[in-house]
Structure 1
Amino acid sequence: MTTYAALLRGINVGGSKKVPMAELRALMGGLGHDGVRTYLQSGQAVFTAGHGDEESLAAELAQAIEKRFGFPVDVIVRDHAYLRAVAEACPFPAAELEARQLHLTYYSAPADEARFADIDQAAFLPEEFRLGDRALYLYAPDGLGRSKLAEQLSRRRLAKGVIATSRNWNTVVKLVEMTAGSQ
């Protein structure tokens, strides 16, 4: 059995795409997943599975959500080893920063560095970003809501079909902790 985190993109935001966490847990249990737990209302679920891989589990869950709730939801699934490695690889001093200052965007596939080459990083200092393993780290000292760099990064920069979903650093750390149980 492997422990995974499912990251759902864009649910329970602004009154649209409502997915109650209790119903999500029941849905995932019905798919045969064990130990299903959710974190916050913004689309994180931790579970164990004895079958499939990240891509097939994400596709299965996305299909089940659309069937149950009537709207599509992008899903990324990552195992504990990946979540831990990405957190440990953070190029910014996470322990010294407030969680609102550091964000991680998970990608469903590697990010093409060339798509970000036209961003003049010096123009956005002290804000900074770095690409990682299917991830983008963003340091925004005044928070995401005031970040001009985040606005630039959110513009269509990924290849078609690549899913992106962002989490603050508290959530990144919590997902590592929650998936650590059976590793």
Structure 2
Amino acid sequence: MSGFVALFSGINVGGNRIVRMAELRAFFEELGFADVASYVQSGNVVFRSTQADVVSLTKALQDAFEKRWGFHSRIMVRDATWFARLVADNPYPEIAEDPTKLHAMALEREPTPEEIGRLAEKCTGPERFEVKGDVLYLHAPDGLGKSKFAEILPRTLKVPGTMRNWRSVLALAEMIGRASG
């Protein structure tokens, strides 16, 4: 069995699309996954599966989730190797000590140079970002909530993704490391 993290997008945000974590964990167990654990309310589930293909896992989870809760949530399934690379490739190690100012966005696919260029043109505030593969690292010195750049990032980049702060990234990396070990 291999360890995975399912990153949900758009649940439990602003009091909308409420999914209780206990119900989500039970849902994963009903689907046959093992060692299911969740982290914070925004939809992060660590689990083990005999199925190793993340594309198949993602499709099966999205379909079953929509059937159960009646709405679509983009789910990105990532394995332990991906999380280890995410942490190791952090281009802002000096910011990692302040996890509220460093974020990682798991992207559905690697953006094209044109897409990254279009985003770079809009990055005019105190923020800075770097894309490595299918991850966008964002340093938001004033915090994500005050970042005008973070507001326009999804519609400018046009590559679906889901953002996590560095504290969550490190916690999930540790959890998936234990699940895979």
For residue 55 of structure 1, give the secondary structure of its aligned residue in structure 2: helix
User: Match of 2:100, SS?
Assistant: helix
The answer on 1:164 being equivalent to 2:167 is: no
1:111, CA displacement in angstroms?
A: 1.5
Please tell me the residue identity of whatever aligns with 2:175: M
Look up the match of 2:177.
180
Task: Report the counterpart of residue 55 of structure 1 in structure 2.
Answer: 55
Aligned in 2, Cα 1:152/1:31: closer, same or farther, shift over 3 Å? Answer: same
Letter in 2 for 1:123: T
TM-score where L is the length of structure 1:
0.91
In structure 1, runs of 5+ residues without a counterpart are none
Deviations 1:150-181 (A, max 9, x none): 133222422xxx53100000000001000001
The answer on whether the counterparts of 1:76 and 1:163 sit within 8 Å (CA) in structure 2 is: no
| 1:122 positional shift | 6.9
Partner Cα distance (1:72, 1:169) in 2: 26
* RMSD of Structure 2 on Structure 1 (CA): 1.6
Q: CA deviation at 1:94?
A: 4.9
1:21 is matched by which residue type in structure 2? Answer: M
- Residue type matched to 2:169 in 1? V
Give how far 1:146 is off: 1.2
Query: Is the 8 Å Cα contact of residues 8 and 165 (structure 1) preserved in structure 2?
Result: yes
Conserved in 2, the CA contact under 8 Å of 1:54 and 1:77?
yes
Report the alpha carbon displacement of residue 87 of structure 1 after superposing the two structures with TM. Answer: 1.1
Larger CA deviation: 41-50 vs 14-23: 14-23
> Which sits farther off after the overlay, 115-124 or 15-24?
115-124
TM, length-normalised to structure 2: 0.92
Q: Which residue of 2 aligns with 1:123?
A: 124
* Aligned residue in 2 for 1:99: 99
Q: What's 2:82 paired with?
A: 82
